[in-house]
Amino acid sequence: MKRSFILFCALASASAQQVKVNEIQLVGSHNSYHSGISPNEFANLQKMNPRAAAALEYKHPSLETQLNDGVRQLEIDVYADTKGGLFAHPQGPVLAAKAGLPADPPFDPNGIMMKPGFKVLHVEDIDYRSNCEPFTNCLTIVRNWSKAHPGHLPIFILVENKDGKPRLEGGAVPEPLTAATFDALDAEIRSVFQASEMITPDDVRGAHKTLNEAILANAGRRWSTPAAKSSSCWTSAAWNLSTPKAIRRWKIGCCSRMPLRARRMRRLPSATIRLRIQISCPG
What is the C-alpha separation between 181 and 151, in angstroms, rounded? 34
Mean pLDDT of 157-174: 89
pLDDT at residue 4, rounded to an integer: 54
To the nearest whole percent, how much of the chain has pLDDT over 90? 45
- 259, pLDDT greater than 90: no
What is the C-alpha separation between 153 and 5, in angstroms, rounded? 19
pLDDT at residue 80, rounded to an integer: 96
Task: Check residues 167 and 20 and name the one with the higher pLDDT.
Answer: 167
Beta bridge partners of 9: 155, 275
What is the C-alpha separation between 272 and 226, in angstroms, rounded? 11
pLDDT at residue 154, rounded to an integer: 77
pLDDT at residue 2, rounded to an integer: 58
- 277, pLDDT greater than 60: no
State yes or no: cis peptide before 134, omega within 30 of 0: yes
- 246, pLDDT greater than 90: no
3-state secondary structure of 230: coil
- 96, pLDDT greater than 80: yes
Mean pLDDT of 111-133: 97
* pLDDT tens sequence across 27-50: 999 999 999 999 999 999 999 999
Task: Check residues 12 and 243 and name the one with the higher pLDDT.
Answer: 12
Q: 26 falls in which pLDDT band (50, 70, 90)? A: confident
What is the C-alpha separation between 40 and 53, in angstroms, rounded? 12
- Residues ≥6 apart with Cβ < 8 Å to 220: 249, 250
Q: 25 falls in which pLDDT band (50, 70, 90)? A: confident
Q: End-to-end CA distance of the chain: give it in Å, rounded.
A: 9
What is the C-alpha separation between 243 and 219, in angstroms, rounded? 10
Task: Check residues 20 and 5 and name the one with the higher pLDDT.
Answer: 20
What is the C-alpha separation between 218 and 224, in angstroms, rounded? 12
Q: What is the mean pLDDT of the chain?
A: 74
Contact between 250 and 218 (Cβ < 8 Å): yes
Please, how many CA atoms are within 13 Å of residue 117, restricted to the half-sphere of its CB? Answer: 16
What is the C-alpha separation between 45 and 47, in angstroms, rounded? 5
pLDDT at residue 212, rounded to an integer: 82
Q: 268 falls in which pLDDT band (50, 70, 90)? A: very low
Angle of the 179-192 helix axis to the 135-148 helix axis, nearest 10: 40
